[in-house]
Amino acid sequence: MPWMNAAELFRALGDEERLRILNLLLGGHGEACVCELVDALRIPQYQVSRQLAVLRGAGLVTGEKRGTWVYYRIAPELPPFHRRVLESVAAELQSDAALEDRERFAGRLRLREGGVCSVGYPPEKPYREVIPLREGHS
């Protein structure tokens, strides 16, 4: 894969939601499915998926389909510069909001069965009744 230059890398990192996703994926848990990220970040699924698409397109994350779910992780073959930038970003994400995201994420990962995501949303309930959204999201 031809790697992006520094300007393209920083453009891919220039969004709060993408930084929040990277914060979780860089946190040492290895991988996550979209519904786990949605629960932790409290933003709608379509927004998480859209931001993952940008991160995938930038080569920063990869996805692996397993059954119903796609599990995302930091791309294993990042060039040294890209890896250093991501590690620096992760070290700086220490705000209360970032810590709350990580706490919710760790709680959500504890619901896994056999190491895989096993919790979905009941089809009879609207999404907004299941996962409370952060202020400013609809």
Residue ranges of domains in the chain, CATH in brackets: 6-111 (1.10.10.10)
Higher pLDDT, 9 or 72: 72
Write out pLDDT tens, residues 95-134.
Answer: 888 889 989 999 888 888 777 777 655 545 544 455 555 5
Give the gyration radius of the chain's Cα atoms: 15
Gap between the Cα atoms of 80 and 82, Å rounded: 6
Q: Tell me, what's the pLDDT at 121? A: 52
The mean pLDDT value for 79-106 works out to 86
Contact in structure between 37 and 21 (CB atoms under 8 Å): yes
C-alpha span between 86 and 23 (Å, rounded):
9
**CA gap 62, 76 in Å, rounded:** 8
Show the tokens assigned to 92: 């700086």
